[in-house]
Amino acid sequence: MEEAKSSDHVPPAHLERSLEHILFASRWMLAPLYAGLGVVLLLVVFTFFDELWHAISDLRSATEAKLVVSALSLVDVVLLANLVLMVMLSGYENVVSRLDVATGDRPSWLRKLDTSGLKLKLFGSLIAISGIQVLRQFMDLQQALDSATLESRRSVLVYMLATHLTFVFTGVLIALSDRLAHGGRSAGTGSGAH
């Protein structure tokens, strides 16, 4: 008798299938977001060439410290571009649909990077970008003209260093928890982590 009652509450199979199709198709709502990241990548490319132009323009009057800061700024922008590209391509492939592109031109990391691996790459990139920002701030200490400016920049450096160390600590915790969750295997490398 209980079996008959429980089957009365089950929705019709065609209604359930329709709902599942709608839910599954809703993943395509994310496609414009990933396309928007393509626009962000274009903005990052413009920023890179703007920074490069400024570095070339100031080359004659640049000190060694200023040249190092300019180089770090360019590396920072490249790391940001890599981060945007990884999130855009692997996010689309993992969540929306497989990318149907020529296999010869397909980056090897794309087929290996799942959401867990992407999370680790994201934190790795954030740590690298943060480290460059801290190093840039440290290099700027040399340009402080008076003690008030020097003290102000030192306090900013302390906060930036604390933020950087927080990123490092969080990244290590995420990597450890990911490793524990996957039974000691490295996540995000295609070794059963899908």
pTM over 0.85: no
The answer to the question of residue 83 being in a domain is: yes
| CB-CB contact of 73 with 49 (8 Å) | no
pLDDT (0 to 100) of residue 142: 66
- Whether residue 186 is contained in a domain is answered as no
58, part of any domain: yes
Q: How many domains does the chain have?
A: 1
DSSP letter string, 47-91: HHHHHHHHHHHTTTT--HHHHHHHHHHHHHHHHHHHHHHHHHHHH
Position 25, amino acid: A
User: What average pLDDT does the segment 146-152 reach?
Assistant: 70
Could you tell me the maximum CA-CA distance found in the chain, to the nearest angstrom?
A: 90
Residue 188 lies in a domain: no
Q: Is residue 190 part of a domain?
A: no
Which residue range forms the structural domain that includes residue 105? 2-181
Span 104-113, pLDDT tens digits: 777 777 777 7
Residue 150: per-residue pLDDT: 73
Which has the higher per-residue pLDDT, 94 or 146? 94
* Distances 87 to 20, 38, 73, 107, 148 between C-alpha atoms, Å: 27, 10, 21, 14, 41
Q: State pLDDT tens for residues 32-91.
A: 999 999 999 999 999 999 999 998 988 888 777 778 888 888 988 998 999 899 889 888
Domain assignment of residue 113, yes or no: yes
Computed over every residue of the chain, the mean pLDDT equals 80
